[in-house]
Structures are given as C-alpha cells and as structure tokens.
Structure 1
C-alpha cells in the first residue's frame, strides 16, 4: 500500500494562501530550502491541483528558480508530478501526468501501488477532498509566525472531524515551525 503525505505552509490563523493566492508571507529561508531539498530527494510523486500546478510550473523551470534555489529547482523539475484537473488541456512541465478522472478514485488506485509515496504540495482543495475521504496518511504543516486578515483555510470544505496525532516537529531559526501529524 502506498503512502500519501499532505505538505503545506500556513499562517498562525490557519490560512494556506491569502487573497489572490498570495503566499508572499511565507518565510522560505536557507534552512527551509534545505528541508525542501531533502524531502525532494526522497523521490515522492508530487500531486497538485490546477491552481498550484500552474503556479509551480510557471516558476520552478525558470532561470530565476534554478539560480536562486538550484537543489530545490532540480528536485521539483525532475520529480514525477501528477496534476488533477478537469479544465487543463495539457500539462507541459516535464515529468507531469494530467489526470482528469475523479480525484478520490484516482488516488485510491495510486495508493494501491505497493511502496508508492506521494506528496500533495499546496493544493488546498485537493487536501480537503482527500482528507474528507480519509486517504491522507500524514500531514506536514510549516507554520509561519504570521497572521493575515483573510485567506483560504487549510481545510476549507471539510465536513467532518479530522483527528491527528503529532509524530514529529522541528523549529527553524526563522521562527517557522514544522509539525508532522499522522491520521488516527
């Protein structure tokens, strides 16, 4: 059975993005880049919704990304990626598969592959849908020491209680705290 991890950063008051998809509040320094690079070396398949995919695909293959964060850019570009969308016509970022079928059914099939590890990056609507279906095994949240007035909650649309157990934590010198939970 495969493993599905949800990874996201969030504000202290629970938003993973601000108005107009703003994430400029996220503190992504050298330590956080090292953590991201180490995680990408694990070679998990990266899962995205359309909005996050388009944002990532417009940045990581660029010379600016490669120059400013070479190890993370290399990992992002070389990783196997899946984007779930019913509206995208194609997915041009290298190593990307576009899946238009039902999200929950598709992820169940992927999780049936022994040893397959997948990580959802951002993609709040996908996290909420897969949390609702009880398909996420681990949640990793980088909590930034900032609060914003409005935005999109990390679990927007969740209709039932989600019980989690803390399994790991890490504090970065920037004040960002990583909390890892398993679903119980």
Structure 2
C-alpha cells in the first residue's frame, strides 16, 4: 500500500501563505547548504507529487523557468521530471511535464491511488487538500518545515479541520538557518 505524506513549509505561526496567497516570506529566507541538501534529497525520493489547482499553477509556472534552473538546478530538474497529479474541477488541462489531471472525488481517488502499486504520494502546499484528506484520515505522515518568521495573517495549514488531529512526533531536524522540520504521524487515537 502506498503512503501519503504532506511536505509543507509554514511560518512559525502556522500559515502556508499570506492574506494575498503569496509565499514571498519563504523566498526571503536564505537556506543554508544543509537545508538545500535536505530538500534536494527529499525531492529525489521519487514520490508522486500531489497538488491542488492553486499550488499546481504556482509550481508549474516557477519550476520549468530559467530562474528556477539557475537558483536551484537539482530541485528544478527533480520537480520537472517527477510524476505529478493535480486535483481540480476547473482546470481543463495540465501541461507541466508528467502531470495527470484528476477531476473526480478527491477522497475516493486518493483511496484508489493508495491501493495501487507504485511510488508513495507526497502533497506539496495545497492546504485545502491537506485539510480534506486529514479529516478523512488518509494522510500517513506530515513533514512540516517551519521558517523562523511570523506574519500577521494568511491561510493556516489546517484551515477548517472538522475534528482535532492528534499527531505523534517521529523525527525533527534543525538547520543552521533556524528552519526546523518536524515529522509527525497520526496518533493511534487520531
């Protein structure tokens, strides 16, 4: 059975983006070599990347660009070569390399994908998907990269959860930049 993981970066006060949907606060952070190596290794893990429409459009705009290739060539190559799935009922096509567009029911489609053979699945960004799939109990692991910055408002990572989500810390890592990665699995009670 395939595992479903979330890999997201947030502000220290839990926001995925600011009130305008931007992640400029994350781009201001200057990752050290240890952090770049960690994210590059994570990107090479050959997981199938899962997106909602908004995150997909942002990623599809940035990662194939010359700027991405110049700033982070290994990550750009990995993102562009990875298998990707975008969940959307409004997109008519998904042109980014190796992308499958799925317009069916998110919960049912993820249940099917988890039962199929193949690489594990990783959600990047896509707060709405994270909330829905958390409520459905379908996410196996959460990797939350916390940037040492707080912003006044924005979209929380778990915006609108129906029930408390009990998690168990299974790993943590601190980078020289002050970024912390916390890895959680569902608590047996959650």
Instruction: Please give the TM-score of this superposition, normalised by the length of structure 1.
Output: 0.97
Q: CA deviation at 1:32?
A: 2.6
CA RMSD of aligned residues (A): 1.0
Gapped regions of structure 1 (runs ≥ 5): none
- Asked if the contact 2:46–2:119 (Cα under 8 Å) also holds between the matched residues in 1, the reply is no
Name the counterpart of 1:105: 108
**From 8, 31, 39, the counterpart of 2:34:** 31
Q: Does 1:84 align with 2:87?
A: yes
- Counterpart check, 1:12 vs 2:15: no
Following superposition, the deviation at residue 103 of structure 1 comes to 0.5
Pairwise CA distance, 1:37: 1.2
Summarize the Cα distance change of 1:72–1:93 in structure 2 as closer, same or farther, 3 Å threshold.
same
Flag the 1:47–1:23 CA change in 2: closer, same or farther, 3 A.
same
- Cα distance in 2, alignment partners of residues 78 and 153 from structure 1: 29
CA displacement, residues 49-84 of structure 1 (integer Å, 9 cap, x when unaligned):
000000000000011101110000000000000000
Q: 2:130 corresponds to which residue?
A: 127
What 5-or-longer segments of structure 2 have no aligned partner? none
Instruction: Report the number of matched residues.
Output: 184
Contact 1:110 1:116 in 2 (8 A): no
Alpha-carbon distance between aligned partners in 2 of 1:165 and 1:70, rounded to the nearest angstrom:
34
SS of the residue 1:142 aligns to: strand
Cα distance, 1:155–1:28 mapped onto 2, change above 3 Å: farther
Residue 115 of structure 1 deviates from its aligned partner by: 5.0
Indicate the residue corresponding to 1:3 in structure 2.
3
Q: Which aligned segments of 4 or more residues in structure 1 are displaced greater than 6 angstroms?
A: none
